Structure 1
Amino acid sequence: MKRFLLCGVLLALLAGCGTAGEQLPEEVPEETEPLSGEELTASAMAAYAEITKDLTFTLDVEEEDATGISLSITPEAARNVAGRENLFSIGYQWEPASAEAWGDQWSDIKSRGRLFAMTAPDGETTLQCCTGGDVVLWTVDGETHYACVTAAAEGESGLSGLLQGIAEDALWDAAFCGPTVDGAETDYEEIARQLNEAVAENVRHVPDWVSWKPLDFQANGASVFDAYYGEPENFCAGLGFRLLVDDPYGEMANSWQAGAGLGEPDADGYYGYGGEASIQKNEDGDWTCDGLATGGSAVTLPLSGSGEEAPLSELVDAFFLTEGFSHDWLLPNYILDHPAEDMTALPALLDDRTDAEARELCAVLGRCLRDADYWDWAPETLAETLGSYGAYLDA
């Protein structure tokens, strides 16, 4: 079994972070040229825009004891990144600072708090700030600048709040999308169970400073509801969890309340949480998922058109390679959405199938027509089009 675990991979200690109690770095870059408040804002905006222009960059987080994590931010995890430099001029107040001020902030081990450092892929453009101080350092176009940056609105966090939010989004993405299961495993229920457990373990191992980290997070069962056995092989499963928070309406619970909310706690004070996961193999051939959806998930089908626009022959082939939601409802819907001139080809397609397979497809089509009236078809008109197969609609 292969599983991506935050505690073993993502939360590796930063190389070169130093040791607890490390003092001021030997060299603090001197400011290239002092800038005014407005010029500082424009320069910092340029640095942030350069770092995030492709939504691919590194975000290092260093704790007070010099341990930390290095996050590789990708477009998939950069939900609240693009264009945030436009808030610099309205959300923060910028005043000139100096290399000495940054050095004093850095050397104050007890007060400087957590360091966030964004770095562009070229390693040249950076932006750094601390949770326990207002001095910010950045380098752009070969020039280094410093500023004292505070929130324009009372009670709001400084620039470190923005960077922490980016880090927390990346950690959420890694926790829910990072787990993998050995591609040799063929039991879909077992794969879903292992992913369920791995996600829970990942959430339990995110750093304590992450605002959405619950007091406890446990897997609470997984169930496969849709499967496609062709290529690319993939399936969907519901993943359930139990979580414990300090306050269902507090900061810790905010991310978990999204969607349907947490509902009522059980007798042990745990809240239910879950969603639907689309599970497929990655480039390494291992099973992985792309996070949780609140609903509407279905397997990926190799159709040349979208839904009802796909040729009838492709829909019939896919029907016999699926199980669950797509087999019982989605594909029959697509088939019944085809006009009469297309459906005249269905008997010939059934001729290529075994009698048991023909009965299976016709029975599902008949059940759909009896359960809903979305289509131009009625059981009687479809039976006429199916010819000798029409009797199978009642199978």
Structure 2
Amino acid sequence: MAHLPQIRIPATYMRGGTSKGVFFSLTDLPQAAQVVGPERDALLLRVIGSPDPYAKHTDGMGGATSSTSKTVILSKSTQADHDVDYLFGQVAIDKPFVDWSGNCGNLTAAVGSFAISNGLIDPSRVLQNGTAVVRIWQANIQKTIIAHVPITDGEVQETGDFELDGVTFPAAEVQVEFLDPADGDGAMFPTGNVVDVLEVPGVGSFNATMINAGIPTIFINAADINYVGTELQDDINNDDKALTMFETIRAYGAVKMGLIKHIDEAAARQHTPKVAFVAPATEYVSSSGKSVTTADIDLVVRALSMGKLHHAMMGTAAVAIGTAAAIPGTLVNLAAGGGERSAVRFGHPSGTLRVGAEAELVQGQWQVKKAIMSRSARVLMEGKVRVPQ
């Protein structure tokens, strides 16, 4: 029996922040995959190697974790005063599912660099030496992001001495600004409260801050679910009972946030919302063996992504952390010591991260104009990815 040969698609494998994924220019995709639909999803699933019941992604480009099973589609922007449209697809590992419901803040750091290197930016906007300001339209959440990409001799500068906990080697710093980071068109606090009582059958009732900023996120106090806040991946990810608990919290929180109508719908919306737990600054040893002291941080935060504890911190969740920290009375703000603040440094499993945000109360509603953090990005491989027809 004859079999069709593989097709070849131009692609770039990139690291952005503590994530990595396969990047495509929209016009390089097969015609059927250039539009939203099952053909696009099927293609990206096969590129990554999902669904994989072995959870290894041996036959694909995925890394079998939520941080490394990602895809990005970029094109010249259709929006006024923007350079590039950025569409992010989170590929499930063991299910035939691509989640388009949110952004990846970490990979955002690589978007500007890819856009410049692949001719998606007007050359007049790229200095010979200095910093290129790339205006990104985040198509998943309909928001503007500004990336400040270092340029040397007309090309993207990728090497440098900027160190990011969760990434082994230093690289060039890329500053990323998330403008008006409240997710979607709804209120930053969909319930109207900075703290709610979240009732989760079989788990309990506890305080929660549910916020739409960067990415919809449910924050709870670590002590309320019998954690300290300094846990590492193995403490959570090897505990099936704990993972089930967090998924149940996520489902009921999603309903309360108005993201879904019934908890059964949560399975089809794995990327959002996120669940994170917080605690006051506490000393611990990170996954790399680095000691984190209370002098280094304002609080500790642990967050789950696609059903597992993240090895560091999702960039969009960092935006949610910075935004919530800037608003008095949220659980994040209280864990950091309360009061007004324009920046916060938090401890995560791999180390620490600083994120800044400025909040203001406008007609009874909290607003944040932008959140800022630094990441790095690097091309790992470029060429053509092969996919069986």
When normalised by structure 1's length, the TM-score is 0.23
Q: Which has the higher contact order (CA 8 A, sep 6+)?
A: 2
If each structure's strand is expressed as a fraction of its own residues, which one has the higher value?
A: 2
When normalised by structure 2's length, the TM-score is 0.23
Answer with 1 or 2: which has the greater Rg.
1
